[in-house]
């Protein structure tokens, strides 16, 4: 029974239930989520190489084919034969694990090679590979302020990802030195920087923290203006390009590359457009040397395994040369937004490849997602609080090179029926609210 391929949550029936006096608190915590309709159930799917965007439903044992609409393997690099071949080869040659932390036995030629690929991708002197994109943000942002004897102030976009928010919080800065500006509002940012020109704040290093592509709204930040403000105020810039690397710029170096703008520190992931796993920052050699030397979540953990590194290297090299995948992704995303609008489905304004479909209610969002999955075999995960603010619940679609016009029509036809049966808000009505 332990091999039962059911959702892991079902395994609880196999384990004799022990209770203790604290269980009531754990139960209450879970109940709160259930009551709000945002208790998370992991959809269990089988991804078979070569079949994306199709996958197999694994939860019910039905082996039904479903279409995945919410993958961050944006370009299907996770199934690119070039990447798989590199990983197969590497496993045979170098084995499974890295054998240690970067500092003690776990620094290999592949780590060095991947970092030099990444530095080249971003036209930076150096890069540092971390366990994930989350850890890269956390490592860098929790460490940076400690490098400045007079302290620092973070200026953080209000839509920044949790990994950046927690990174800033884990730094030893006082709360008042983490100042949040309204999303993409450069006037607000400038105003906050101006008010930091007093005796208490003047000597503190100013660090502006933001993303290029915001993963839920799909908005793109005003990079040029932020850069100009940063230069004027002598601030450091920290940009998360996690949802842009591989997808923007002529070599896949992100929005900074596309617009030819230099930021001081770029963070990225190897787990989304590059289709593998891991994260990194790219910056000057001096900054990288500091994070490498001081960040606990980089220092005290086993480094990534060789297979992951080899796959990432192959994927980056491939996407530096090949633009056809990203061109197709952008074409499909544009088509999908156009068709959703034409069919009065409430697509939110998005400057990027991400296609957010507004629902605005946590339980409805979950029910719509469940219906699309159950009745139409279309998998799109509901996005609820805290990933988005309450009342802004949505379905986040990520069309890729393999989501053809036919697939898009299939989704739209199902969504039209579901929207009608739930009485959900349409595109034209949403415009009046925005």
Taking the least distance from each CB to ligand PMP, the nearer of 102 and 277 is 277
* Residue 272 is a catalytic residue: yes
Taking the least distance from each CB to ligand PMP, the nearer of 162 and 405 is 162
Taking the least distance from each CB to ligand PMP, the nearer of 245 and 340 is 245
Query: Would you count residue 134 as binding ligand PMP (CB under 6 A)?
Result: yes
| Binding residues among 167-206 for ligand PMP as defined by CB under 6 A | none
Taking each continuous run of H as one helix and of E as one strand, the counts in the chain are: 15, 14
Contact mark string toward ligand PMP, 212..241, x via CB under 6 A: ---x------------------------x-
The nearest distance, CB 21 to ligand PMP, in angstroms, is 36
Question: Cα dist. 7→3, 253, 373, 384 in Å?
Answer: 11, 37, 16, 21
Distance CA 287, CA 284 (A): 5
381 CB-side CA count, 13 A: 17
382-390: long-range contacts at Cβ-Cβ below 8 A with a sequence spacing of 24 or more? 383/216, 384/37, 384/38, 385/36, 385/38, 386/162, 387/216, 388/216, 390/362
Instruction: Tell me which H or E stretch contains 225.
Output: helix 223-233
Residue from 133, 253, 305, 399 binding ligand PMP (CB under 6 A): 133
Contact 276, 78 (CB under 8 A): yes
The nearest distance, CB 431 to ligand PMP, in angstroms, is 27
Catalytic residue among 272, 337, 366, 407: 272
Taking the least distance from each CB to ligand PMP, the nearer of 71 and 269 is 269
> Could you tell me if residue 278 is left (phi over 0), alpha (psi between -120 and 50 degrees) or otherwise beta?
left
The nearest distance, CB 350 to ligand PMP, in angstroms, is 15
Three-state DSSP state, 8: helix
| Binding residues among 73-132 for ligand PMP as defined by CB under 6 A | 132
Contact mark string toward ligand PMP, 246..285, x via CB under 6 A: -----------------------x-x-------x------
Q: Which residue is nearest to ligand PMP (CB)?
A: 133
| C-alpha 112 chain-centroid distance | 24
Burial (0-12, 13-18, 19+ Cβ within 10 Å), 433? exposed
The nearest distance, CB 155 to ligand PMP, in angstroms, is 17
Query: Would you count residue 306 as binding ligand PMP (CB under 6 A)?
Result: no
Contact 224, 255 (CB under 8 A): no
Contact mark string toward ligand PMP, 333..372, x via CB under 6 A: ----------------------------------------
Contact 404, 369 (CB under 8 A): no
Taking the least distance from each CB to ligand PMP, the nearer of 134 and 379 is 134
Instruction: Tell me which H or E stretch contains 372.
Output: helix 362-376
Contact mark string toward ligand PMP, 32..51, x via CB under 6 A: --------------------
The nearest distance, CB 339 to ligand PMP, in angstroms, is 26
The nearest distance, CB 338 to ligand PMP, in angstroms, is 25
Of the candidates 115, 116, 161, 154, which has an alpha carbon nearest to the alpha carbon of residue 298? 115
Residue from 71, 98, 137, 308 binding ligand PMP (CB under 6 A): 137
Taking the least distance from each CB to ligand PMP, the nearer of 137 and 361 is 137
β-strands 355-358, 279-283 pairing: unpaired
Residue from 115, 211, 325, 393 binding ligand PMP (CB under 6 A): 211
Taking the least distance from each CB to ligand PMP, the nearer of 279 and 400 is 279
The nearest distance, CB 151 to ligand PMP, in angstroms, is 25
Q: Where are the alpha helices (DSSP H) in 95-202?
A: 109-121, 133-143, 162-170, 186-194
Taking the least distance from each CB to ligand PMP, the nearer of 76 and 408 is 76
Q: What are the residues facing 356 on neighbouring strands?
A: 396
Question: Cα dist. 276→51, 83, 315, 391 in Å?
Answer: 17, 9, 8, 33
The nearest distance, CB 167 to ligand PMP, in angstroms, is 10
Distance CA 270, CA 252 (A): 12
Contact mark string toward ligand PMP, 148..167, x via CB under 6 A: -------------x-x----
**Catalytic (active-site) positions:** 272
Q: Residues interacting with ligand PMP, by CB under 6 A? A: 132-134, 137, 161, 163, 211, 215, 240, 242-243, 269, 271, 279
């Amino acid at each position: 029974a332990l091999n039962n391929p059911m959702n892991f949550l079902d395994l609880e029936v196999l384990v004799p239930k022990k209770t203790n006096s604290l269980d009531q608190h754990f139960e209450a915590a879970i109940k709160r989520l259930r009551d709000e309709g945002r208790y998370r159930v992991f959809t269990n799917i089988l991804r078979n190489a070569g079949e994306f965007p199709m996958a197999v439903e694994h939860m019910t044992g039905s082996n039904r084919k479903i279409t995945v609409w919410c993958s961050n393997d944006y370009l299907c690099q996770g199934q690119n034969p070039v990447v798989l071949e590199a990983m197969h080869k590497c496993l045979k040659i170098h084995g499974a694990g890295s054998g240690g932390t970067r500092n003690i036995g776990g620094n290999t030629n592949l780590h060095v090679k991947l970092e030099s690929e990444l530095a080249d991708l971003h036209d930076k002197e150096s890069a540092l590979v971390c366990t994930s994109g989350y850890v890269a943000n956390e490592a860098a942002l929790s460490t940076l302020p400690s490098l400045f004897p007079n302290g620092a102030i973070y200026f953080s976009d209000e839509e920044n990802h949790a990994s950046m928010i927690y990174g800033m919080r884990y730094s030893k800065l006082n709360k008042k030195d983490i100042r949040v500006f309204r999303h993409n509002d450069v006037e607000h940012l400038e105003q906050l920087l101006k008010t930091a020109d007093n005796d208490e704040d003047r000597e503190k290093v100013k660090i502006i923290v933001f993303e290029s592509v915001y993963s839920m709204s799909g908005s793109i930040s005003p990079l040029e203006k932020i850069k100009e403000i940063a230069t004027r105020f002598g601030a450091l810039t920290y940009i998360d390009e996690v949802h842009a690397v591989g997808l923007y710029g002529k070599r896949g170096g992100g929005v900074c590359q596309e617009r030819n703008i230099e930021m001081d520190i770029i963070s990225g992931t190897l787990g989304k457009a590059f289709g593998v796993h891991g994260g990194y920052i790219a910056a000057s050699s001096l900054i990288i040397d500091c994070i490498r030397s001081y960040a606990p979540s980089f220092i005290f953990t086993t480094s990534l395994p060789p297979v992951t590194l080899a796959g990432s290297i192959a994927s980056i090299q491939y996407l530096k040369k090949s633009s056809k995948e990203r061109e197709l992704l952008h074409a499909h995303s544009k088509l999908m937004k156009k068709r959703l609008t034409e069919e009065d489905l409430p697509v939110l304004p998005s400057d990027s490849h991400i296609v957010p479909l507004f629902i605005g209610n946590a339980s409805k969002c979950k029910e719509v997602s469940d219906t699309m999955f159950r009745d139409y075999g279309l998998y799109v995960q509901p996005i609820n609080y805290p990933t988005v603010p309450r009342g802004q619940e949505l379905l986040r679609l990520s069309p890729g090179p393999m989501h053809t016009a036919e697939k898009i029509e299939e989704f739209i036809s199902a969504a039209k029926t579901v929207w009608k049966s739930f009485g959900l808000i349409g595109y034209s009505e949403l415009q009046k609210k925005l």
